[in-house]
Structures are given as C-alpha cells and as structure tokens.
Amino acid sequence: MDPDEFRRYGHLFVDWVADYLEGMERYPVCSPVKPGDVRGGLSLEMPEKGDAMETIFRDFQDTIIPGITHWQHPSWFAYFPANNSPPSILAELLTAGLGAQCMVWKTSPAAAELEELVLEWLRDMLGLPVGMSGVIQDTASTATLVALLTARERATAYESNKRGIKIPLLVYTSEEAHSSVEKGVKIAGYGKDNIRYIPTDKDYAMIPSELERAIIKDKEQGSCPACVVATVGTTSSLAMDPLVGIGKICKEHGVWLHVDAAFAGTAAILPEKKWILDGVEYVDSFVFNPHKWMLTNFDCSAYFVSDPASLIRTFEIHPEYLRTGQDAVVKNFRDWGIQLGRRFRALKLWFVLRSYGLEGLQTMVREHIRLAQYFKERVDEHELFELMAPVELSLVCFRLNNGGNESDLNLINEEFLARINQSGKVFLTHTTLKGKYVLRMAIGSRTTGQKQVREAWELIVTAAKEWSGTDYSFP
C-alpha cells in the first residue's frame, strides 16, 4: 500500500467511523447472525497475492459489520458499557501509527512519563490516597491477578516466586465477586479450595463480621490469610462492599486488601458519590477501568498500589537484553505487571482526560446516574415489575413479577429478556441474585440519553403487555 493509498483509505475510514458513530441506531444492537454466518460469508482461502483494499473494505462492510454487536450503540444496556469517544479513537490512530512498544522507559520515554502523569490525574480525581502509584493494565482480570500475586508474595515473605506455596494461603471475597477472582486464584496457584466466599447482606454487600470470623477461624487452623478482594460495584448489581469495616479487619490481621471497582470507580469523580470509596485509605491495591465508563477505548484498566516496591519485587526480571542505562532512575513498567510488551495506552487516556476535562466527565456520569434513577422510578411504580437491588449508580436490576413461584419467575424472565433483545432495538443482559433471574439495565454508553432510556422502557412494557395480555400505559 503506497502512501497515497494510505491517505485515501485513511480519510475514507475516518468518514466511515464518523458516519458509524452518528448513525448507529440503524443497526440492531446485538448482532442477529447465527453461528457460522460470518465465516460462511468470507473467503476461506488466505490469498497468495494481496487483495485490493477496496475488496477488503467491501467484505468488512458486507460481512463483518452484520456480525458486530454494537457496543457503542446508544441503546446498549448489556453487561457494563465499554464506552469510547472521538478523542480516544483519534489517539488510537496515532498510537497505531507510532507503533511503539513501551516495555521500558527507554523504548519510549514519553509513554512511560505520560502514563505516570495520567495515572496521577486519575488517582486525584477519584480521591485515592496521594501515596498510591498507578500503572495501566489491560483489564481488571489482569489487575486482580497482579494483586493476588503480590499478596501471595507478601504473605510468604517474598518466597512464593522462588518456592511456590508451601502452606495454605487464603483469599476472601464475597459471594457476589467477579469471576476474575476465582480465575486469578487458580492461576496464581492458591487453589480454588482456598477461596472463602463471604456471605452478603440484603443489598449483596460483603458482611465484615463474617469476614473477620472466617479469618480468625483460618488462622486458628494454621492457614495464612493472604488477600481480601472487596468489590465496589459488583457486576451483578453494583453492590458496594463496605471498605471501612473490611479495611480495619485487613489491617488488624495483616491481610492484603485489593479493591475491584472496575465499573463503579469512575463515579468517585462526583463529589456526591465520593462515599463509595470511603475507607480507601486501608487499601493495598485498587483497580478501575477507564475503558468502561470513562470514554477510553478498551483496553485501559487503571491499577493503583500503596507500596509499589512490593509490586515490583514480585514482577521484576533483569535479563541482560533488557538492561538500559536509565534503570535506576526511571519507571520501567514491564516490572509492574505480567506482560513484557506494552502498548502506548496512556495516549488515549490523556486525549480523553484533556478533551473532556473533569467537568465533561462529571456531566456524563451524572446524566447516566440520572437516567438510571428515571428508569428505576418507572420500575418502582409499575405493578408488573420488581426492583431487585438498590440503584446507587447507573445499573437497574429488575424483573417481571406476576406473583408466580420463583422457579416459574426465573423461566418467565429468561424468556422475557430474549423477547426484548430479539427486537434489536436494545440489548440487556441478565444475572442471578440469590438464585433469582434478574434483568440488568446498565446505562453508560456515551450517546445514551433520555430518548433511548424512555424507548427502552416503552419496549419493555409493551413486551410485558403482550406477554400478560394486559394493557399497561406508559407513565
């Protein structure tokens, strides 16, 4: 591809992306293709000679796009959002053009120093302790694994890297914690049998007294409590584990406290939501994802530690071919995580933070929270629907409830969700809360507004009406 062709297609693709972002409502939110459809539409042979970009782009439009589930759609209410933004997309273009691999300071000083700076901005915006140091990880799964590994090392006086785990090391998390905790525990060699799932209260938050009881019991039995993973904003219902109570217990018993605030952490940029991080002064490590609710393209997970020395001691390696003359005076982020190679992810974060400014981000987050409250009120006042968890931020957990038995309700809601999504107009997903099948209305797409939330509600009520045969008017 010659430079002129690159320019021509570059301009074409920029316009395509602009049109895509503006006109996304023409697409069904969730791709309606069947397994095998996309593959069936593509040439299965790797070409001997290169294909023209015109052909490739046509296949992209004709076959790839119908197979895309549109995460940036204004009617995206599934999982959690992974919202991007124009400044972030532009920065990704520059990052790709530079093609820098930022494993150590020397292999791109600007990447290392910008990463340090933007992580300080994030730390201060969220009100994390000023002593914390940050690094970008790819995902919260990785960040939580990194925390579990550092905790493992600290609990064994930095012997587990060398000798493995010799006595049972225990990890505590709530019944509602994300699956990445279990996955990380397995990877780090703790053994899943050494997770203690602490019961939750009626709001699905960890009960500190239960945590303390478990820690004491394990200590009495000669096991070593190594790590507590608390969640600020669980995936199922955005439940908030109480960090003050948990933090005091961790401090008393010398247990590493990691906080997974992957989605909800962003809300702490609002003065009125700062309380979600009350107790954060007890925390050893903390993760939240700017790629979820802070307009930064996936992947970009912000990980903070109180004691970077323990992190580096866990991960540093010094092969000769990676030594540089600056090693003593700079941050080499390769030693702050699992991968050696690193993308220049700080650039997109910097573009986003500077483009929106604190006020721009606060406006967006407030609006999403307001929309969730609007939706919650609709649920609350409608006799066919039931609210299933507190709504503090931008997720509403609800279900249809016609007074049937629980097992019927689960089946009914599963079928009801399928019906709603089949419309292509919205995409919601589900979870279970204490055995109950629950629909999740997760609001956080950059372009989601009152219109989309109201339309979603209308669609849901209409579907319920069809299902129940009753006429329900829209509030």
Nearest to a copy of itself of 152, 376 (CB atom): 152
Q: 100-129: which residues touch a copy of itself (CB under 8 A)?
A: 100-101, 105-111, 113-114, 116-117, 121, 124-125
Q: Which residue has the tokens 């009406």?
A: 465
Which residue stretch of 205-213, 240-248, 271-279, 429-437 sits at the interface with a copy of itself (rule: CB under 8 A)?
429-437
Q: Nearest-CA neighbor of 173 among 90, 232, 119?
A: 232
- Measured between alpha carbons, how far is 373 from 279 in angstroms, rounded to an integer? 26
Asked if 25 interacts with a copy of itself (CB under 8 A), we say: no
Q: Segment near a copy of itself (CB under 8 A), from 201-209, 224-232, 290-298, 381-389?
A: 290-298
Does 90 bind a copy of itself (CB under 8 A)? Our answer is yes
Task: Give the per-residue contact string, 342-381, with a copy of itself (x = CB under 8 A; - = no).
Answer: -x---x--xx-xxxxxxxx---------------------
**SS3 of 118, please?**
helix
Interface with a copy of itself includes 226 (CB under 8 A)?
no
Query: H or E element: which one contains 136?
Result: strand 133-137
Whole-angstrom CA distances from 239 to 88, 126, 200, 258, 397 are 29, 18, 9, 16, 11
What is the pattern of x (binds a copy of itself, CB under 8 A) and - over residues 247-286?
----------------------------------------
- 65 three-class SS: helix
Is 429 near a copy of itself (CB under 8 A)?
yes
Q: What mask of x and - would describe binding to a copy of itself in positions 314 to 343, judged by CB under 8 A?
A: -x-xxxxxx--xx--xx-------xxxx-x
Minimal distance in Å, beta carbon 474 to a copy of itself? 28
Residue 416 makes contact with a copy of itself by CB under 8 A: no
Closest CB to a copy of itself among residues 382, 446 = 446
DSSP H/E element including 89: helix 86-98
Report 40-59 residues binding a copy of itself (CB under 8 A): 42, 44, 46-51, 53, 55-56
Binding-site size for a copy of itself (CB under 8 A) equals: 149
Distance from C-alpha of 102 to C-alpha of 330, rounded to nearest angstrom? 13
> What DSSP state is assigned to residue 62?
I
| Strand order across the beta sheet in which 301-305 lies | 133-137, 301-305, 285-288, 256-260, 224-231, 169-174, 195-198
Q: Is 200 in the site for a copy of itself (CB under 8 A)?
A: no
Least distance from a copy of itself to the Cβ atom of residue 106, Å: 7
Span from 98-106, 128-136, 381-389, 463-471 in contact with a copy of itself (CB under 8 A): 98-106
Q: Please give the full DSSP string across 318-372, using - where no structure is assigned.
A: --GGG--TTTTTS--GGGGSS-S----THHHHHHHHHHHHHHHHHHHHHHHHHHH
Question: What single string gives the DSSP state of each residue in 392-451?
Answer: SSSEEEEEE--S--HHHHHHHHHHHHHHHHHTSS-EEEEEEETTEEEEEEE---TT--HH
Instruction: Please report how close the Cβ of residue 252 comes to a copy of itself at its closest, in angstroms.
Output: 26
SS3 292: helix
Within 13 A of 163's CA, how many CA atoms are on the CB side?
Answer: 7
Q: Kindly state the tokens that stand for 184.
A: 């990380």
How many Cα atoms occupy the beta-carbon half-sphere of 397 within 13 Å? 25
For a copy of itself, the closer of residues 92 and 212 by Cβ is 92
Which of 264, 384 has the CB closer to a copy of itself? 264
Q: Is 6 in the site for a copy of itself (CB under 8 A)?
A: yes
Supply the minimum distance, in Å, between the C-beta of residue 264 and a copy of itself: 15
CA angle 260, 291, 275 (to 5 degrees): 45
Q: How many angstroms separate the CA atoms of 448 and 452, rounded?
A: 6
Options 154, 196, 258, 291; binder of a copy of itself; rule CB under 8 A: 291
Q: Quick one: 251 or 354, whose CB is closer to a copy of itself?
A: 354
Q: Which stretch binds a copy of itself (CB under 8 A): 13-21, 197-205, 243-251, 387-395?
A: 13-21
462 binding a copy of itself? (CB under 8 A): no
Q: Which stretch binds a copy of itself (CB under 8 A): 219-227, 295-303, 384-392, 455-463?
A: 295-303
207 lines the binding site for a copy of itself (CB under 8 A): no
Instruction: Name the minimum Å distance from CB 335 to a copy of itself.
Output: 10
Looking at beta carbons only, is 13 or 467 nearer to a copy of itself? 13
Sign of the dihedral defined by the CA atoms of residues 153, 156, 162, 168, in that order? negative
* Beta carbons within 8 Å of 261's beta carbon, 6+ residues apart: 231, 232, 233, 268, 276, 277, 286, 287, 288
Distances from the Cα of 161 to the Cαs of 144, 170, 189, in angstroms? 17, 17, 11
Contact positions with a copy of itself (CB under 8 A) in 67-86? 67-72, 79, 82-86
